[in-house]
Amino acid sequence: MKAFTVHTGIVAPMDRANVDTDMIIPKQFLKSIKRSGFGPNLFDELRYLDEGKPDADNSGRPLNPDFVLNKPRYQGASVLLARENFGCGSSREHAPWALEDFGFRTIIAPSYADIFFNNSFKNGLLPIVLDDKTVDELFKEVEANEGYQLTVDLEAQVIRKPDGSEIPFDVDPFRKHCLLNGLDDIGLTLQDADDIRAYEEKRKQQAPWLFPA
Amino acid sequence: MAGKTLYDKLWEQHVVKEREDGTALIYIDRQLLHEVTSPQAFEGLRLAGRQPWRLDANLATPDHNVSTDKAEREAGIEGIKDSVSRIQVKTLDENCDAFGITEFKMADKRQGIVHVVGPEQGATLPGMTVVCGDSHTATHGAFAALAHGIGTSEVEHVLATQCLIQRKMKNLLIRVEGELGKGVTGKDVVLHVIGVIGTAGGNGTAMEFGGSAIRSLSMEARMTMCNMAIEAGARVGLVAFDEKTAAYVKDRPFAPKGEHWEMALAAWKDLVSDDDAEFDKVVEIRAEDIKPQVTWGTSPEMVTTIDGTVPTLDDAEDDVERSAFTRAYEYMGLSAGQKITDIKLDRVFIGSCTNSRIEDLRAAAEVAKGRQVAGSVKQALVVPGSGLVKEQAEAEGLDKIFLEAGFEWREPGCSMCLAMNADKLGSGEHCASTSNRNFEGRQGYGGRTHLVSPAMAAAAAIAGHFVDVREF
């Protein structure tokens, strides 16, 4: 996993609530057996005017000029500003894979769907929760200032605005540790292999039907 | 000290280790695998040179990409026309063979939608932790099991360690008291709940469904309800263990037998929330208030009753909702104030992990019997949830009822729920669907989904527009 320490980037505003995982990466693109290459189909149905097909060349497709990520001022954006319940719907990890592959490193929203939130951390994509009012203000500032950038400092747990002011944010200490160091969860869990075996032995006594021979 | 909720008990029974930061390592008793969210997990194991921790905890079956067409199914994997779909199904077979994981392959009559197959096989048992790389894993909570969807990284984590790193959720109780009216099903109850609390109403919670109305529901109706807990934002749906749970599980292939059955039964009786358990939040619903439901928009919370109308902008709570309504009117081709019964249907889909079990098919067949699908409906699909559901339905003659009425009778799979296979909506088409999500494009590019119960879907197929199944 890619480590996340300090990131500065252009902010793109996605001004709608309940952005679901079918919107983030439509189902026809879930057929890949790889983790990469989903970026060109991120927000496919909003981004292009025609219907997207898996394994097709996306370079010549007609773009929807009204879609935020197609606007010249948001080119190269790597910070996504979003509304409540971002990432609702399916458990597809293809959603954070697509956001990450497109170039996003962090998302700022008032709330996320649980599974999406979880999946993001496992892919070096930092989902930040800020209150509604702060998110609203950021939407206004992004709208008003072309080239608006934010700096996200995970170690310090602050977002730095262009005027130098800081917005603090909360993050789970374990997830922060993994993200800062780009650590693989599995390796960490396997350090507890003896605890897992001890649990299994105890459980076999209590609930032997869960361990058919 | 206050008593414990069902979720508290399930959680405590599965803690391997608590960490200082408030997370815990939780043991997973069962992992269900399918072709869409597992390939990258197996690839991850291979790259790291790791082996599955415990093979017998895993059970796999392909469902999302399989063809539901009989001739194509008989042609085997090569019968899947779409090459990328074919690769995914093949990859699942190869991975299960290589690692030694039990799989019900496409030609096996036990194949089906994972969330139908698990309970049907007794692979889902009360008191278990059940995970799958699919958000509708919440379904299995109907068995008083702690079940939730996970992403592919977590699928790999469970394969490698039999555990997940979790943080305890909050406890939410949805209490439905009273008697459900005629024609009101588990699907209507859960859609009503989503309408009340919203699609984010259950975020961060384990959602237990309780109350006399839930106790009166069958196991299959409870599965339908837990299945859609995720549409209210809750990863976990739960229903307490009772005699119906025991009766459903008994004698299924993976269920404990003999002495182990007796031991299990004794332990399972405690899988209920204590009378003095404290929930973080309780939502009270009167069963008598629930009518047959139909979604009108592009989120499951955009739902109303069969005798209702498409809401107007005045009904929206704030600007964010007003803009969502405006977008939904446009996408759905509907106008504010329009009567639900005036919505005409192009296609009808009866199936999915929400509503493809035998009781669902019986309810739809009862409505379809001796009637004809309206000429204006291009296609009405009935897709059983597994090969065994299909076999049972055929033994009861349900297939003939559907075929005579002009429905298509298909092979088991996820089918038109999510348009990853050949069954999909055309752009602009309205569909009465027994599935779980009405998101934009979910059932096909530009497709317009209306979520309903199986009986309501069958009635809509016959009338050509939505009708109140209570008066049909």
pLDDT, one tens digit per residue, over B105-134 is 999 999 999 999 999 999 999 999 999 999
- Sequence-distant (≥ 6) Cβ neighbours of residue B330 within 8 angstroms: none
Q: Does A113 touch chain B (CB under 8 A)?
A: yes
Let me know: does A148 contact A10? Beta carbons within 8 Å.
Answer: yes
**Cross-chain residue pair B149–A174, CB shorter than 8 Å:** no
Chain A residues in contact with B321 by the CB 8 A cut-off are 17
Segment holding A204, helix H or strand E:
helix A193-206
Question: Which of A21, A24, A27 to probe by mutation at the B interface, max B CB count within 10 Å?
Answer: A27
Question: Which of A186, A192, A202 to probe by mutation at the B interface, max B CB count within 10 Å?
Answer: A186
State how far Cα B171 lies from the chain centre: 21
Structure tokens at B90: 């093949």
Count of CB atoms situated within 10 Å of the CB of B313: 12
Q: Mean pLDDT throughout B277-300?
A: 98
Q: Mean pLDDT throughout B331-344?
A: 98
Q: Residue B20: what pLDDT?
A: 85
Question: Which of B54, B124, B135 to probe by mutation at the A interface, max A CB count within 10 Å?
Answer: B135
Q: Does A183 touch chain B (CB under 8 A)?
A: no
Structure tokens at B51: 């082996």
Confidence of residue A162 (pLDDT cuts 50, 70, 90): very high
Alpha carbon of A144: minimum distance to chain B alpha carbons (Å): 20
pLDDT (tens digit, 9 = 90+) per residue, B254-276? 999 999 999 999 999 999 999 99
How far apart, in Å, are the Cα atoms of B219 and each of A185, A196, B407, B462?
36, 33, 26, 28
Q: Residue A54: what pLDDT?
A: 84
pLDDT score of B1 more than 80: no
Per-residue three-class SS string for B355-400: CCCHHHHHHHHHHHCCCCCCCCCCEEEECCCEHHHHHHHHHCCHHH
**Cross-chain residue pair A206–B267, CB shorter than 8 Å:** yes
**Cross-chain residue pair A88–B264, CB shorter than 8 Å:** no
Q: Mean pLDDT throughout A128-152?
A: 98
**Cross-chain residue pair B135–A192, CB shorter than 8 Å:** no
Sheet holding B448-451, edge to edge: B408-409, B379-382, B347-350, B430-433, B448-451
**Cross-chain residue pair B27–A203, CB shorter than 8 Å:** yes
Confidence of residue A56 (pLDDT cuts 50, 70, 90): confident
Residue of B nearest to A83 (CA): B320
| Residue closest to A54 by CA, chosen among B63, B89, B90, B421 | B421
Chain B residues in contact with A117 by the CB 8 A cut-off are none
pLDDT score of B2 more than 90: no
Residue of A nearest to B426 (CA): A51
Q: Residue B259: what pLDDT?
A: 96
Query: What count of CB pairs under 8 Å joins A to B?
Result: 189
Let me know: does A98 contact B151? Beta carbons within 8 Å.
Answer: no
pTM (two decimals): 0.94
Confidence of residue B21 (pLDDT cuts 50, 70, 90): confident
Q: How far apart are CA B27 and CA B7, in angstroms?
A: 15
Confidence of residue B380 (pLDDT cuts 50, 70, 90): very high
Average pLDDT, chain B: 97
Alpha carbon of A60: minimum distance to chain B alpha carbons (Å): 19
Confidence of residue A68 (pLDDT cuts 50, 70, 90): very high
Token look-up 């339905």 returns: B393
Question: Which of A90, A111, A140 to probe by mutation at the B interface, max B CB count within 10 Å?
Answer: A90
pLDDT (tens digit, 9 = 90+) per residue, A172-213? 998 999 999 988 889 899 999 999 999 999 999 999 999 987
**Cross-chain residue pair A85–B203, CB shorter than 8 Å:** yes
Let me know: does B323 contact B299? Beta carbons within 8 Å.
Answer: no
Let me know: does B322 contact B459? Beta carbons within 8 Å.
Answer: no
